[in-house]
Chain A
């Protein structure tokens, strides 16, 4: 078995899955974290984003073996001011892009707790949203940094 940490807890998967993209392993019954989403499978939409040792990664292409011994965080484990700000501001519509946005925003706030609007937009520019929730996502995160 290949061991890693998921949202602070020990997790593992079969060594035969080391070449499988991390996203499929996270969402498999063995691990069972469904928050990272499949959107494009080619690093274009950001719906699959997770943190690997605090760095944002595309789980749709990253081989699962690459996270051996490392810490993977998904939106499910990020009960943080960033996630709360987005949820409490109704900063989404359908919500499918939201877990990826939580992850990308969390990565930003860990290094830059008071980002400007332009810095937030840059950090989220690889995250696609089709509902047009961008203005309130930016607004919610800007307010968070200002507090």
Chain B
């Protein structure tokens, strides 16, 4: 028998997950947060299905310290797999206990009762009982083993078309974001030129009702009127003098000297290991790269904080309110239990952006202005300038092709900076932006290699394909020139871009059709072969200006195949993507429309990265691409028509999918550009300049 879902074992009280309301409703509690992926809608559907109630009866309460189960960080496309499994099992227990109560009341066997929308019926029962007739007492029940769940063949909600997100109307027509919160004081931080700069001088008078907060080199202003707060921030910024500390970064590329000094960890059973790297002779070699990328959330980071009698209440859009609470407590020197954090929607974050940092910024201002509800917002310039960046990557591929045209040996060497600097109570340093600027500063955690399976730099470095011999090595570069952290897919995007590009290059060298070449090396991976065939069926084949990409996220989650079709302007060398096809297997589909939305969103975002995006810096290490003109993203006129095919497996567990398409889309695009032009672009982004450079080689 399967063990209890991890989250349920950690929080076994049923009342912490499921409660009935007096008004015929159900409240489900989750420690996960909605960051635009629609997870609260999907979790509510799982609960309604398992409890046999109408979907509209279920309201989902999201992460709130002390009120919801602690489910850590909402990341890694894990929420359906973890919180979904916990809520499904908790709902199954709630249903079972309610039926037991009903059986006692009706003097019937529980097995002979049926439920429809919370109405319990049995033979000879004229007036059905409802769940809410039986809700006079809480569940008061500790879950310590599994109870049977509904058979997926009996589902009436899960997997059905036409499900509607529960939050969208409010987001179109009401205050719905943390940015829209009531505030007594609006706050702004006055940032230094870069992370290396500290305050030298600040000669400014701020008249009431404006307020100035200075703690070392952390400078912030507050004002009851929002526009006045923004103006005040500009005025104070004009009076601040800063000086650089330490040395400027020695370049931003993963150049030869960085590669030579990197720490090598060959994968053994998928785990980076401190063993010597095996040298394997290869006849084909190619190197690929991606630049630093931004999350570039559409909303600048924001948070609310109120300091009252030594306790702090925060509202923010962090992906991990529980770890954040502990780290903020450490900075403020107070007990973590004195801090309450409630998640309130922000704009999509796509990984670790400024949301956590804004919470500390708000807390630092609120501490100085106790009793006031402080709404902290970043400016667009500071969002682009100070968010943790998606790290640059450099990938060197090697292979030897045997006499039959198949791959005999394969090497994959991925070099890069850390992808993992989320604030954590287990980390030795404090990974929140403002902490390093305080009069009594907290330094960030020194960069260290993440050595678990499928994390950071080596996520999806292991190929989906089988080869007679392979050596895959993570190379950790410690001296990141800028702050980096998790961006959608982490290393999977760069690794799959390299693998899928290289597979096409090898197929070309062997004179084999790219799809056939992949089939040969997928061997008996039935699910990967199925998405490959599905995407080819959907698009009608790889003829013309089309390219293919394929991967299974983290080599265990959603399997996705993508075909991109491009056109390249002969004059401008501009690449356009008129069409894109996706086929995906995410196990049991909870909400087909929600899953499609995530797969397509990831694909469009990856096209944007690959075609347009690259962070620029000055010599001091400051980001210079600080608006949407200098950091352009894909626009409505540039997005493809997308057709998505889902391979549903109701009998299997659902698999996270929000990051599944970023790698395959990147590979498909590069391969389509080659198909269209004969030019192989190995360095992202594929701007017209890059295309011309590659053509000249």
Contact = CB atoms under 8 A, between A and B. Distances in A.
Q: Bound pair: A and B?
A: yes
Interface of A: 20-21, 24, 27-28, 34-35, 37-42, 44-45, 47, 75-76, 79, 83, 86-88, 90, 92-99, 102, 120-122, 124-125, 127-138
B604 A134 contact: yes
Nearest to A77: B173
A21 B641 contact: no
Interface stretch (B174-182, B246-254, B512-520, B552-560): B174-182
A99 B172 contact: yes
A137 B604 CA distance: 13
B171 A135 contact: no
B567 interface: no
Nearest to B294: A130
A92 B597 CA distance: 8
Contacts of B173: 35, 75-76, 79, 83, 99
A87 B594 contact: no
Contacts of B594: 90
Nearest to A129: B298
B175 A88 contact: no
B380 interface: yes
B175 A34 contact: yes
Nearest to A98: B172
Contact of B36 (A41, A45, A87, A95): A95
7 contacts: A41-B379, A41-B380, A47-B299, A90-B38, A132-B604, A135-B640, A138-B636
Contacts of A83: 172-173
* Interface pairs A-B: 8 shortest CB-CB: A132-B604, A94-B36, A95-B171, A132-B601, A96-B347, A94-B348, A93-B36, A34-B175
Given A24-B227, A97-B347, A98-B172, 9 more contacts: A37-B298, A47-B298, A76-B173, A88-B164, A90-B594, A94-B171, A94-B347, A99-B172, A131-B36
Contacts of A87: 168-169, 172
B537 interface: no
Contact of B639 (A75, A95, A134): A134
Contacts of B174: 34-35, 76
B109 to A, nearest CB: 42
B119 interface: no
B597 A125 contact: no
Nearest to A94: B36
Interface of B: 35-38, 164-165, 167-169, 171-177, 179-180, 225-227, 230, 296-300, 345-348, 350, 377, 379-380, 593-594, 597-598, 600-605, 608, 627-629, 633-637, 639-642
A133 B172 CA distance: 14
Nearest to B658: A93
B172 A128 contact: no
Contacts of A47: 298-299
A96 B298 contact: yes
A42 B639 contact: no
Nearest to B661: A132
A93 B37 contact: yes
B172 A102 contact: yes
Contacts of B175: 34-35
Contact of A133 (B167, B601, B640): B601
Given A93-B348, A93-B601, A135-B604, A37 B172 contact: no
Contact of A125 (B38, B297, B299, B635): B635
A128 B605 CA distance: 12
Contacts of B298: 37, 39, 45, 47, 94, 96-97, 128-130
Contact of A95 (B176, B603, B628, B642): B176
Contact of A128 (B36, B179, B600, B633): B633
A98 B298 CA distance: 11
Contacts of A137: 636
A130 B633 contact: yes
A36 B33 CA distance: 23
A93 B608 CA distance: 17
A130 B226 contact: no
A95 B172 contact: yes
Contacts of A99: 171-173
A130 B605 contact: yes
Given A94-B35, A133-B597, A38 B633 contact: no
A64 B605 CA distance: 35
A40 B230 CA distance: 13
A110 B592 CA distance: 33
Contact of B345 (A35, A94, A127, A130): A94
A28 B375 CA distance: 13
- Residue of B345, B379, B597 contacting most chain A CB atoms (<10 Å): B597
Contact of B225 (A28, A34, A41, A88): A28
A42 B641 CA distance: 30
B348 A130 contact: yes
B390 to A, nearest CB: 13
A121 B348 contact: no
A16 to B, nearest CB: 10
A7 to B, nearest CB: 10
Contacts of B641: 135
Contacts of A129: 298, 636
B167 A121 contact: no
Nearest to A83: B172
A24 B226 contact: yes
B380 A90 contact: no
A87 B37 CA distance: 15
Given A20-B227, A125-B637, A136-B597, A130 B297 contact: yes
B625 to A, nearest CB: 13
Given A38-B377, A45-B628, A130-B297, A96 B177 contact: yes
Nearest to A21: B227
Contacts of B180: 27, 34
A95 B304 CA distance: 20
B481 to A, nearest CB: 25
B628 A132 contact: no
A128 B601 contact: no
A97 B171 CA distance: 9
